[in-house]
Structure 1
Amino acid sequence: MTRPPTAAQRRIIDAAEPVTGRLTGTEIQLAALVKRGLAFRHPRPPHDHFLTPAGHRLRETAEVAEKVPETAVPAAAPAETGVFAARVGGEEAAEAGPARVREVHSAWQGLLELRRMTNPGGAMDRPCGWERTHLVRAAALALEAAGHRPAGADADAAGAGGGYRVRATPQPEAVAVREPDAEALRACAATLEKAGWQVGEHTDPRTRQRYLLASPRRA
């Protein structure tokens, strides 16, 4: 890409579906994004257009520039943006009503469709490329979609108040999942394994608390 996208193209990119990256626009507009390497046309009917990894990165540029790294804070978008973000644990004023349940279900179904469209052979039983570049959000979505409860903002680092927390780790393809309740922690492990993640249980040498290390399964 030699030039930045036009304002109209940027609006189309910004309006893409949060998880799948599906685009809406005229054929001319979408073709221009394909030419720039920011979108691709799916070969199967209805031949929808989706963001490429470069398109996803461009859409997230402004978002990321306004936030500190996700290793320091929960990877959740501010509520006023209207953009869906899976709850990683520790968010303020987390709405948990029927509307949120529907929103999470829709996001999870969209992610499964993205797996079908982008994984070799249409495999839906293992994470796709988007998940590998958004590890914390992807793991949190799998947990929230399965009904697990994220920790609230009032839960301290020791886990008072209960609920899961998903955080980045120094390992390039692993997240840490903490949950003070041992049974709930094992349930989180089962959910992630079912969602296509490799999961191991470990003990924090400093706090002696058990936690999970989870990585996207490749095959």
Structure 2
Amino acid sequence: MTRPPTAAQRRVIDAADPVTGRLRGTPAQLDALVKRGLAFRHSRPPHDHFLTPAGHRIREAEPEPDGSAAATDTATAPEDASGGVFAARVGGEDRAASPHGDPARVREVHSAWQGLLELRRMTNPDGSPDRPCGWERTHLVRAAALALEAAGCRPAGPDGDDGYRVRATAQPEAVAVYGPDGEALRVCGAALERAGWQAGEYTEPRTRARYLLASPRRV
């Protein structure tokens, strides 16, 4: 069984960029994470380090209770000004604390989107920021929601109001995007196309509800 990361390694993992997984730490800390399969060193200059899927899973999991480690983390870990890990709105969340259009939320979304574009530059074989990268293909709902929110589209609230809703589908590399009407779907489709996705409008056979089926473009 693989040993859990040390308190110091956990702090480095928790401080990773919430979208790109880019790490900051001493060379020794980063090398230790690479050896444990929790990070990788990018082959292109400036040879930054990023979380692997295993590292992302540890970052997203609740830390195991450990008295000494928890005390050390609490004493030295920097606070997240946003109150936690950034999460793109897929539609249906309670927006009371940070409503759509709130300046703080706009800044968070912009920063996350710029980080995702940088991840595309770093990980796409041709360095293109115009085409979705591997992270987006393994986080389809979150990636599509970020593209929509970064484009200014409005996510639906908990009561299913006039915003978009992004949902997983049974199809590989595809999400469903629902909206209140055809015009909203067209706006969402155009936003996804600009973000490097391909989207087509369909009708559910049973409910007759219109939706977009969107997937990351490969070329």
2:147 to 123, 142, 151: 142
Match of 1:202 in 2: 202
Paired letter, 1:95: P
* Deviation per residue, 1:68-108 (Å, 9 max, x gap): xxxxxxxxxxxx95110001111012423111001100100
Secondary structure at 1:83's aligned position in 2? coil
Asked if the contact 2:44/2:122 (under 8 Å) is kept, the reply is no
Query: What does residue range 170-185 of structure 1 map to in structure 2 within 5 Å?
Result: 170-185=170-185
Shift in Å, 1:54: 2.4
- CA–CA separation in structure 2 for the residues paired with 1:5 and 1:35: 12
- CA–CA separation in structure 2 for the residues paired with 1:90 and 1:201: 21
- CA–CA separation in structure 1 for the residues paired with 2:135 and 2:83: 21
Query: What does residue range 38-187 of structure 1 map to in structure 2 within 5 Å?
Result: 38-62=38-62, 82-92=84-94, 93=96, 94-96=98-100, 97-155=102-160, 161-187=161-187
Paired letter, 2:34: V
If the length of structure 2 is used for normalisation, what is the TM-score? 0.84
If the length of structure 1 is used for normalisation, what is the TM-score? 0.84
- CA–CA separation in structure 2 for the residues paired with 1:209 and 1:3: 49
Gaps of 5+ in 2: 64-81
- CA–CA separation in structure 2 for the residues paired with 1:126 and 1:181: 28
Larger radius of gyration: 2
Percent sequence identity over matched residues?
80
Match of 2:10 in 1: 10
- CA–CA separation in structure 1 for the residues paired with 2:43 and 2:169: 37
Asked if the contact 2:39/2:52 (under 8 Å) is kept, the reply is yes
- CA–CA separation in structure 2 for the residues paired with 1:206 and 1:190: 26
- CA–CA separation in structure 2 for the residues paired with 1:211 and 1:44: 39
Gaps of 5+ in 1: 64-79, 156-160
- CA–CA separation in structure 1 for the residues paired with 2:2 and 2:87: 31
Match of 1:190 in 2: 190
Shift in Å, 1:53: 2.4
